[in-house]
Structure 1
């Protein structure tokens, strides 16, 4: 029996695993000597190099080498949740398959929220774990909709590897580009899976070209399809040089056969392309390529794994999760190509040593360090998702919140399986779990108290849209309780009370984002709410520098008020390091303004930023430089200088050619080609600027930059213009100046509103 037949032939569904692969390798020649999965020497060296800790024990190293923490990410509707459902079935975690929009009304396991099942979308990322042979895989299924981008952000912050899913027809879409950017931000190695190979118009090689051009990835197929569209039956594995078919009611049996004769030529061409791409990133493969030889399966696997972990290469697999085809090879690829926790460098900041970066070693004998990356309100109190980077977390042990310094006892530890949970006594280094009853915020670092280190927090995008919110009928305590909980769970959801109108304002990433929270208040807290017209997050700024020289005097018998400030207000670019685009600079010399009044001047500057003079929106993109001033021995006070600075700001702002900035959205639309004229006409009407158009057979994709203020009600317009066949997604791009006539209009509306209030 050939090596590959030993590997794949006739293995029953759930026993079919990487364990079988290792056994096959161990008993076959000539790969037996080469294909070993023992612990790499570099990994042992890394463990033993930590001077303060005792050396790692072999059981812990073996456990870590058999662990994978992965996320499944993609554009909306690419099949992430369906793919996760099949993975859970083939690994034996669930006994039946249910689909996202299934007729049985059960819904996918990972979409546990009632709203998710109704709308057929993922709203919250869900965690689970599964076993594939001897390997343990922690999986986080993330939402695809851009409004819930924070869920993807925090998942990628704590994962070691990711699976990027692409649709075989739509390919690289707007949210795919966003997910790619997030993966790069956290240096997450990924493999790609081209899903929906059974769809009409499926073309995986066009998608691979898009990955190279749009995402600038060194990507190559490690499989080719056997048939496409409704004829899709399986894949050819270019590494093992065998055809793989799924048999059984749910595709649980993976059967290996010889490659069909009509595919030999294409398979040879694509394997040559794979070798070429790998030769660009791996010296060993380059030598083999120059000698015009074919690498062995073991050489392929080693080269792909090394290049993937080093972020130099992306292997591309293909299949159809919905049709239960080629999901098991994806699982094999996950354990073969994605890193274990020891192969990823995680650093923390040592608070005791001027925030000097220190490398964390994922070994259970080291001092405990963990990150709370997600919060949920569970049935038994707050559920805190935790990634353990170092040491072990034990039930009943005491841990310290680095931010607050509070010492807390761990009352209950669980492993998550979507909404279900399984109690455990201990979570080792590199694992992901959850604990109950611990009060903390998302992004808090926990240690055992012996080390003072903090993990860097995740990137949180700024909200772009706001709604006024008021409960229908009598206000109940549940209203504020719900808003507090949602804010704690989701850093992109903000709540504040407008000082003048006294209305509760909620802000978020998009209309759907806020709609979901309003709906959740009704379902989970029995609070029905009325929402006001959406408000766009305008900003005010200046376009040129202006000097100020302002004196604040007030005399009303007895001690008066006196403060004089001089300086300049100037435009400021965003500082990439700090992420700030406003600053207050003190350049006063000679003590003309006593140093104890400088903080009051800064407070006056901060007061002025809150509400701009043009339309009452926050001000950004400027620096206030305080150069000189004067004080009175009796009449000067902190209040006088605070008022003087605020008034000086407003005076200089008016002279510095102020402008209003509006959020510009990057809008991606897909619709049948016959509606192209209507769609582009609709974008022009909404002041959109077309950035890119692409035609793919019967469909076209258009990307445009459109002001958010002009995007309200667009979904209804697009549906009617395309007979319900068009779909779009939008994502915040940046703030840009509004047109002059729009600025005049906004200022007039603001003045009318202010005049109405003063009556």
Structure 2
């Protein structure tokens, strides 16, 4: 394993509340790295130009991200693996799983709205994993909240020390640029062009008289604020950043390309290279010579012409080589990985080798599932890939009975993909779909129609809660599922699930069957369940 290749890798996700500018920032990161030559629009329905990371047809129509996207590119001496995540809370499961595959995150905050609900949820996940976070406060070209207020809110709500790396000079129509605290220079703002690499005007030092003459009150006020924060905020400590206790804060305007290069530079300089990953059996170090990887995402129909199914794999250790024999520890089967790709969203390139931190894709026909561990032979199981108990349930039936078989196959693929949770009632009857948010049903209905040519009817189910049921005594578990057969369904991985209309029904069942564990969170492919709170 080449240590130099390992040190070159930076793998991070871009996260935010909806409409904070996450996908726009992702486009501009690609632009500034040279990976694309012109940035797509996020909501340009009248344009043929769409965000690179929004490749699904429904994303182009709705102007929202509903699935995570993977993009690999080079910047300077580094290989960047960037994962764009859905901002909408209805797709939080996909985002949570992506966060298990990265080593750092960029948190985008709308300067007008500050810290929002979905931001808090995602930060909790990052903090539980000690994921280092770089904060980008966006939309300074608009009227936003006071930067001091935003800084205080980040510290109060997110529980991390916010360390300004840049500071805004004015906002909205009066936005003049940012002061680079590290370099003691001002970068002057000019409304952006859709290209990168243009000339940048800088003024040395905040005491520069030309700045005060040109920018007047905004310059003077920024100087006063910087004097204030210099004594009130801690010095940047990289060890605290890597432990998730400090977050560098940068200001800018992604739509205007302003502040984007600084984020890339901060990630290259500060974000960690790939680190240790935990399995049930032992820790796995990236420097190990043997290849290991974990499937953190499965996506069906990325290429409609070939009806393919791609497993996204985070390389955790060793060196992956195209054509090598790889073992799937869940099934104990070995296959040769000949068709392997890297991504720029939907665009693919065949890859001959990959190193820890890299995200590779293996097209397959059901061989690989979410949570699968790949090795050169050792029996390992990576942990931490979450599935959450759904909160909304709908029944689904096919409009044309002649398409029933196609519906079954489509739901099997979408369930394995994790786009929605699919339950097959043991007592028979209509299939039940479970979701965290209502929008998931709309996306699934759209995908069934456009990708699988299956039109369906959905209706609210009588259930409101679900718990995966487990027991150390297999016979006791079977007695329980037989006794409640009308409420038991199997999910995409055949895990038994208890469905309920009210929490009291779960409480009664728990008292009657004390050996049965009711789980509201589970980890896939044989990894441990977690008991309900």
1:701-740 → structure 2 map (5 Å cutoff)? none
Question: How far, CA to CA, are the matches of 1:184 and 1:64 in structure 2?
Answer: 24
Choose which of 363, 368, 377 in structure 1 pairs with 2:291: 368
The answer on whether the counterparts of 2:462 and 2:501 sit within 8 Å (CA) in structure 1 is: no
The question of 1:140 aligning with 2:140 is answered no
* Partner residue of 2:194 out of 233, 240, 250: 250
**Equivalent residue, structure 2, for 1:318:** 251
DSSP-derived class of the 2:239 partner: helix
Deviation at 1:272, TM superposition (A): 5.8
Partner of 2:506: 620
2:326 corresponds, among 393, 399, 402, to 399
Q: Structure 2 CA distance, aligned partners of 1:443 and 1:304?
A: 34
Q: CA deviation at 1:509?
A: 1.2
Q: Which has the larger radius of gyration?
A: 1
How big is the shift at 1:267?
3.9
Deviating more after overlay: 438-447 vs 72-81: 438-447
CA distance in 2, matches of 1:527, 1:583: 34
Which TM-score applies when normalising by structure 2?
0.84
Counterparts of 1:533-682 in structure 2, within 5 Å, are 533=460, 535-538=462-465, 603-609=478-484, 611=486, 617=501, 619-621=505-507, 622-624=510-512
Partner of 2:371: 443
Using the alignment, how far apart are the partners of 1:626 and 1:323 within structure 2?
A: 59
Identify if the C-alpha distance between structure 1 residues 135 and 115 changes in structure 2 by more than 3 Å, giving closer, same or farther. same
1:274-316 per-position Cα deviation (integer Å, ceiling 9, x unaligned):
564335xxxxxxxxxxxxxxxxxxxxxxx44332112221111
Contact 2:97 2:297 in 1 (8 A): yes
User: What is the CA distance between 1:503 and its match in structure 2?
Assistant: 2.0
Contact kept, 8 Å, 2:70 with 2:82, in 1: the verdict is yes
Q: Could you say if the C-alpha distance between residues 399 and 495 of structure 1 is closer, same or farther in structure 2, counting changes exceeding 3 Å?
A: same
Cα contact 1:73–1:144 (8 A) shared by 2 = yes
Kept after mapping to 1: 8 A contact 2:9/2:356: no
CA contact (8 A) 2:419 2:440 kept: no
In the alignment, is the contact (CA less than 8 A) between 1:463 and 1:492 conserved in 2? no
Residue 213 of structure 1 corresponds to: 156
- Output the CA distance in 2 between the equivalents of 1:446 and 1:269: 52
Q: Distance in 1 between matches of 2:230 and 2:79?
A: 29
2:325, 2:414 → 1: CA distance? Answer: 28
3-state SS of paired residue (1:164): strand
1:617: Cα distance to partner?
A: 4.5
8 Å contact from structure 2 (residues 31, 39) kept in 1: yes
Number of aligned residue pairs: give it: 486
Cα contact 1:584–1:623 (8 A) shared by 2: no
Q: Secondary structure at the match of 2:42?
A: coil
| Mapped contact 2:28–2:257 kept (Cα < 8 A) | yes
Q: What is aligned with 1:335?
A: 268
- For 2:244 and 2:432, the matched residues in 1 are separated by 42
Contact 1:278 1:313 survives alignment (8 Å): no
SS in 2 for 1:475: helix
Q: CA RMSD in A?
A: 2.9
When normalised by structure 1's length, the TM-score is 0.60
- 1:116/1:535 Cα in 2 relative to 1: closer, same or farther (>3 Å)? farther
CA deviations 1:132-166 (Å, max 9, x no partner) are 22222110000011111111111110100000111
Distance in 2 separating the partners of 1:616 and 1:511: 19
Whole-angstrom CA distance in 2 between matches of 1:461 and 1:616? 15
Alignment partner of 1:229 is 2:162? no
Tell me the equivalent position of 2:15.
73
Change (3 A) 1:527 1:265: closer
Which of residues 423, 438, 455 is equivalent to 1:495? 423
Of 225, 240, 244, which aligns to 1:307?
A: 240
Structure-2 change in CA distance of 1:522 and 1:265 (3 Å): closer
Change (3 A) 1:201 1:391: closer
> Is it true that 1:130 corresponds to 2:73 in the alignment?
yes
1:74-473 equivalence runs, <5 A = 74-102=16-44, 103-245=46-188, 249-250=193-194, 252=196, 253=198, 254-258=200-204, 259=206, 260-261=211-212, 263=219, 266-267=222-223, 269-270=225-226, 273-274=229-230, 276-279=232-235, 303-341=236-274, 344-350=275-281, 357-358=282-283, 360-363=284-287, 366-377=289-300, 378-379=302-303, 380=306, 381-437=308-364, 439-449=367-377, 451-473=378-400
For residues 525 and 605 of structure 1, what CA distance do their matches in structure 2 show?
37
- Give 3-state SS (helix, strand or coil) of 1:328's partner: helix
The change in CA–CA distance for 1:168 and 1:82 in structure 2 (over 3 A counts) is same
Distance 1:255 1:331, change over 3 A: farther
Partner of 1:543: none
Q: CA separation in 1, counterparts of 2:360 and 2:129?
A: 20
Contact 1:74–1:175 (8 Å) recurs in 2: yes
Alpha-carbon deviation of 1:347?
2.3
| Mapping of residues 677-696 of structure 1, within 5 Å | none
Q: Quick check: 1:74–1:164 contact (8 Å CA) kept in 2?
A: yes
* Counterpart Cα distance in 2 of 1:197 and 1:610: 57
Q: CA deviation at 1:534?
A: 5.2
Cα pair distance change 1:583/1:125, threshold 3 Å? closer
Deviation at 1:519, TM superposition (A): 1.1
* TM-superposed deviation, 1:480: 1.1
Contact 2:178/2:189 (CA < 8 Å) preserved in 1? no
- Which of 485-494 and 71-80 deviates more? 485-494
The SS at the match of 2:414 is: helix
